[in-house]
Structure formats: C-alpha cells, structure tokens
Structure 1
Amino acid sequence: MTDPIDPADDPLATAPVRAPEAFAALLGNALATLPAEGAPAAPPPAPSPAPTDLPPGPVDALLGHAAPAGLGSLEMPERLDLLAALLARPEDDFIAQDLLANCWPGPGGETSRAALAVALNLAHHFARPERLPMACLKAWRLLDPVTFRPALVHRLATLCALARQSDAPGSVLLPLDYGEIELIEYLYETLDPGDEIAVLAEVMTLAGLGDRRLALIRRMPIRARRRLEAVDPPERAALRPGLVRSRALLDHLGATLADPALAQAARHATGDLDRLIATTDTPRPGADGPA
C-alpha cells in the first residue's frame, strides 16, 4: 500500500504514485514559485493591467523549458495577456472562468503545457479561502486526459490528502466546495483504474464527499455498459482489459472499505461488471454460422 502524501512537503517531491521520468522532468520546478501545499498561500496581488507579453520569472518556472516526448506541446494561446493573468491570480472565480474560455475556446482535449501550468496554479488554492473552484474544475477538464494522465493521478492524490487535512481539528482549510467535489469526481471517473487502485481507493475515504462516493461506485458498471454499447459486438473484446481493471478496483473496495453501505455497493457493482465482462467473450449470434 502506498504511503499517503504529506501536504506539508513539496507537492511534487513525494507523489503517492511515482510519476514517470518525463513528468518529473516537466514539472520538477513547476511549483517552485508557489508555497508548499500545507503552507498559507500568499495574499492575492493588487489588481493591475494585464501584460501583453509573458513576464520572466514565475511564468518561466511554471511552464518549464524541457519538452519531454509525449507529454504536452509548447503551443501557446494567442492571448498571452490572458495566460499571464491566469498564471497570476484572477480576482474571482467568474473572471477566471472567462479568462479560460477566451484563452482556450475549444471544447477540451488541450495538450498545451501552458494549460497544464494554469491548472496547477489554480489547483494550488484548493480548499483555501481564496479558492477559485469552478475555474479550477474547468481548467482540469480542459486538459487531454491521455497526454496528462500522470498529472491527473498526482493531482487526485494531492486533493485527497488536502481534503483529509481539511477535516483535521485546527485546520486552516475549508470544507469542500461544490466545484472541488466535482473535480475529485471528474478525476476519479476519468482515470483508468489500472495501476492507480490505491489512489482511487483513497477517494472513498473522504467523508466530505458524503453520498457522492456511493454514486461513484454505482456508476461504474453503468459507464462500462455505455462503453460496450458504443461499439459493435465484434469489437467489444478490445474493451475487456479496461473492464477487468475496473472490476479489480471494485473488488478491492468491497474487501477494504469500512463503510458497510459502500462495501456492499462495491460488491454488487462487481457482480454487474462480471456479467458485462462475460458478454465480451460471447460471439455475436450467427457470426460463426452459415452465410
């Protein structure tokens, strides 16, 4: 079992899931200009006109200079002034959302490292008084989850650690906002279980999510069924590995969760997934028969 992250440490130095070398090279200094996750955040800067060019220093540290193969592009948005504003701290959540929409007007799937830097910067304020929860959610949804999968894994692990810290006596962190709960759910449902069972299981320990945890478990076979129905029967065998990984996560939850309702829901969902997995081995009726 992987040791939980200590929010007081450098958030990128002690990842619960060891990031690939490319991720470490890209983000080794990504948050060098920000306080550690457990430290008080600096007060927001005084409002000032947005620059037309990216300033040196903090922006360079956030974006980095290396470009590891397969982990994001160096493509920059047309409005560098908007990017600079996002890498500082927008005045409020609505302004930040408008900046994102104008900086990257596309539907999502963004592979730009600049977009990752923005998402990291906004996530630093998670559960703090100055948080921008809906903008943070929008920024992480903007990223291509395949390109930035290591970043999504690390962020989910860090958010779980911070959410647990917010429940501790004397904590300066706040209860989870709606947008922050949505972000945790989005990351949970976007990541393929695979080797991340320990991180995904941590989500089920967050009391701040309440009944949302039960909904996440119950949706797993529903989402799997939709994936199967979206492809032709002869092609469903290709989805079997993903279904098996999801089943492994549910099996782990059913055996380890202390909450009886969550554990029972996981065991029930495991049975549903077993039935779906069985359909990937069933040939289409008439496929082997005479023409």
Structure 2
Amino acid sequence: MKKLAIIGMPMDLGQMRRGVDMGPSAIRYAGVTERLKELFDEVHDKGDIAVGRPEVEVDPVSNLRNLNLIAEKTELLANEVDKAIEDKAFPLVLGGDHSIAIGTLAGVAKHYKNLGVIWYDAHGDLNTAETSPTGNIHGMPLAVSIGLGHPLLTNVGGYGPKVKAENIVIIGARSLDDGERELIKKHGIKVYTMHEIDRLGMTKVMEEAIEYLSEKTDGVHLSLDLDGLDPHDAPGVGTPVIGGISYRESHLAMEMLAESGIITSAEFVEVNPILDDKNKTASVAVALMGSLFGEKLL
C-alpha cells in the first residue's frame, strides 16, 4: 500500500520577499493532488500548517530575522511530518521558503539511524548567524540540521543534529558565501556545482550521488529548491541565479531517484507565484514530483 501525505507550509518568515507563503496554494492549483493520485494508492492532503500573519521581528542578540517564530512554526511542521511517517505515509511538504526544511528534517530524522539528504539548490543554505550577510534563516537550514546555529533552531524537535555532514549531497550549487565554502571543506560535504553537472553530465552526477548515499544511509530526504533550476525554467523564485539546472536535467534526476528507490521523504520549496509567469514554476514543481514518484511516458 503506497500512501502519500501532502503537508503545506505557507511560511515566508525566513527571508524578506513576500509571496512565497502562497507557494503551497500555487502548487495545489497546478494539480499536485490529481497528478499524484495516479501514482499512489492513497493521497491525503493534510492542508496547511497555521502560520498566520506575524509581524517581522529581528532578534537583537543574534540579528536573526523571525528567530522565535521560525522555531515555533517549524516545530509544528516537525510534528505533522512525524505523524505522517508514523501513519506509514510518504511525507511531501510544500513550501514556503527553505527555512521550513528545519521542521521537515526534525520530523523525518528521528525515524532513521543514518538519514541522507539530497539538497537540490543553487545555494548551500549553510550559513550561521556569524556568516550570514542578511540574517535570513532561509539561508541556514542545512547548517541548522547538522547542528550548527542558534540553539532554538538546532533543537527543533527536541534533539540534534538531524543529519551527519557526510550524509549530505548538494546538487546544483552556483552561489555560495565565503563562510559556506569554508564549512563545506571543513565538514567534507559532497557538492556537485554546476561545473560538475556540465562536465560530468547529470546522469553521472546522479549515479554517483545515489551510490554514495545508498552505501551509508537507511533513508534519504530530498529537499528541492526551485531556484536549483535555471530561472528560464523556474522564474517564480525569490533568489534566482542564472546558469542553473535545466528542466530536462531535473526530470532525469527525479526519474533516476525514482528508479533507485532511495527517497523516503521530500519537500519542494521557494515557489513564489507573485514573481512567477502564469504559475509556471508551480507547474514545473508538480511535473518534477510526477517524475520523482515514478511517472512514466511509456
């Protein structure tokens, strides 16, 4: 019995551009439930986590934006993801900005001894309060998940770290801050930048990533930021970076993950319909979900 739980996380507290809170609605409007009903025995849309319209606050000590609110709201998400897994469902989280991954991973990782993570993104999201140029927490969720950052964030779910640095593969990176580069080298995080994707080809990159994680993990979470794709294919994102992964390469990556059978949870984040062109980016997200869950042309 294949069961899917869709959880919306309409949160835009991790950055400064409004609109990404409408991401879950845009993805639903693009037909996610109808499409995935063809691929699962049961699809349950759990609705959205209540985020509300809180006022922006900046923590005076750490300079982090919306620190307390993000800790509180990601805790709610962690509980919903935990419940979905307890119910033997595959958790699919719709974002929202990438700070939501703090909650998703907190809910997922407690169910695995050695969780792996594929971070499909233009950015490393490995900043801390000390290295962040902005104080925006959507640039920090991967650092938080390996135990680096403010205790309010690293302890979401009541434990930490959620994942070991050596169990992470970043795919599509092309915009890294200095502190992130240092952290990647220090912790030995596996990164495939656009240079490697161009040089090796997406097939080789995914073969290597799948083999690398298959050997050492008992489950793999996919965290896919739509800005991992080139802005030509996914214009509706808050922090677009030109020269990204193509639509076709992304489908290939998702199809290879489907064939591998290693993905045990997933989230699709940073869809911002305000910045989009006729809901194109949400439609791309839904199409990629189809490939990830085994949709076939023939």
Check whether TM > 0.5. no
More helix by share: 1
Which is bigger in relative contact order (C-alpha 8 A, separation at least 6)?
2
TM-score, length basis structure 1: 0.31
Give the number of the structure whose alpha-carbon radius of gyration is greater: 1
Q: TM-score, normalised by structure 2?
A: 0.31
Q: Name the one with the larger strand percent.
A: 2
